[in-house]
Structure 1
Amino acid sequence: MDTLQAVVLAIIEGLTEFLPVSSTGHMIIASSFFGIAGDDFTKLFTIVIQLGTIMSVVVLYFKRFFQSMDFYYKLFVAFLPAVFLGLLLSDFIDSLLENPITVAVSLIIGGFILLKVDDWFGDGEQTEISYLTALKIGFFQCLAMIPGVSRSGASIVGGMSQKLSRTVAAEFSFFLAIPTMFGATVKKSYDYYEAGFQLSSDQVNLLIIGNVVGFLVALIAIKSFISYLSKNGFKIFGYYRIIAGVVVLLIHFFIQELTVI
C-alpha cells in the first residue's frame, strides 16, 4: 500500500462509515481495485483507521457523553451481541472479507430494503431508548458482519423498527459505533500481534495518515447525513446501493470473462 492508496481508502472510510451504504463493502471494492485486498496490512489498515472515524463522533457529540450512566449501560447492552457473535463467527467473517460478490449482493438486497424502510416504519415519534430496544438494535447491528450490509444502516433500521425517529436511531447508531469499532480494532490488532506481524515505520505512518483523513472526512459526513436524513429519508441511499452492487457484479464478471478469453 502506498500513500495515495491509504488516503483514498481513508476518504472512503470517513464518507461511508456512518452512511447506510457499507464502509466495509466499499473498502473491499476499492482495495480489490488497487490489487491489495489480500494483503495483511490492508486488512489491518481498514480496521485500525476506524479509530479516526469514531473520534469524529466524540468531537461532534462531546456534551452527550456527559449524560447519566444509563446512557453507557444502554450502549453496553447494545454492544453485547456483537461481542458474542463476533467471537463465535470470527473465522467465517474473515472468509467473506475478500469476496466482492458477497459485497455486491448485500449492497443490492440492502438497497431494496432502504427503498421501503420509510414506508414500513416512517419517522417514529419515540425518542427514549429502553434497554430492550438497545438490545434489539445490537442484534440488528450484527447483520453487518456480512460485508456489504452496513453497520450504520442495520442499526438505524433496527432503531426505526422500534418506532424511534430517524434522527434518534441514527445518533444511537453513531454512539454504538464507538465500542463496536474500538473492540474490533483491539481484537484485530491483537490477532496480528499474536501472529507475529511486525509493522514497519512506513506502515505506522500510513496508519496515522489514514486515521487523520478518516477523522476529518467523517466530521463532514456525519453532519451532512443527519441533516439530509431528517428531511428526506433513505431512498437515495437505496438507489445508490443497488446501482453500486450491479456495477460491481458487471465489472467482476466482465473482467473474469476477459481473463478466461
Structure 2
Amino acid sequence: MEAIVESARRKGSVLVVGLDPDLSRFPTELLRSPRESGEESVLPGVVREFCLGILEATAPFAAAVKLQSACFELLGAEGVGVYSDVIREAERAGLPTIADVKRGDIDASASAYAGAHLSRFGARCVTVNPYMGADAVKPFLDEARRLERGGGTFTLVATSNPSSVAFQEATAPPMYEVAARLVADLGQKSGDYTDSGAVVGVTRPAVGARVRELLPEAVFLAPGFGAQGGGAAAVRPLLDRRGGGVIVNSSRAILYAHEGDPGADYREAAASAAKRSRDELREIGAGF
C-alpha cells in the first residue's frame, strides 16, 4: 500500500484510472483495420494500443491504475499477455497497479492466484473477495509482504453496485462490518496506513462513514465515481481524520470521454477527463 500512498503524495492526486477495455466503445480509428481485415487475431493488439495510449495521456493526473482482468481474459491467452504488458508499462511509468480480480479461493488456489497476479504479472495490489473468510485473503497479503514492493490487498467491504445492499446490509451485524473487521484484523501497519485496504463505494456514503470508523488506518479504494453516479462530495465521508486514506477509481468516464466529442482524439479526451476528476477531488480536500 505504501507505493500507492507515496504516488498519491508525489502526484498530488487520489485518482485511480480504471482500465476496463470494451472494444464496442473504442474509437473508430483504432478498429477500422481489424474490421476491414476481418481478423480477430489483431484485436489484442488494438486493446494494447488503446490502453497504452490511455496510460500515457492520464499518467500526469493519476496516482495509480486499476486493471479489470476480466476485460483482458475475454480475449483469451493473448489478452492475458496484454494484461501483463500493460501492468509492466504502467509500473515503468511510475503508476502502481491494482489487479482487479476479486479472487476469493483458499489454500493452494489462493496462493496460486496471488503468485500469478502479484509476482508473475507484477501488480502491486489486488482486490479480493472475503466470503470464505481470512483464508481467502491472507495468502494475498503474505505474497505482497514477501515481495516487499509496497503492495497489499483491497478487500470487498461495501461495494458500489445497487444489489449489494440486499446482501451486505441484510444481517445483524451487517456483512460490511464483518468484512471491515476482517480487514482490520489482517492488516500490518507500514507508514501511516496498513497493507490491508478496503473497497468502499462512493455511492453509499453513510455506509462508508461507518466503515471509516471501523478502519481508521486503512486505505479505501472507492469505485462508483463518475459513470456510476458518485460525485466528489460523496467521497468526503470516506476520508480519514487527516483528509486522506482514499483513492478514487474512475473508469468509463475517462476511457470513453471521446464519445462526447466524436472528433476528439481519445487520448486528449481521456487526459482532460482525468485532469477534471483529479481537480474535483482536490477541491474537496482529498489527499494524503
> Which structure features the higher share of helix residues?
1
TM-score over 0.5 for the pair: no
The TM-score normalised by the length of structure 2 is 0.28
> Which structure features the higher share of strand residues?
2
Higher-RCO chain (CA-CA 8 Å, sequence separation at least 6): 1
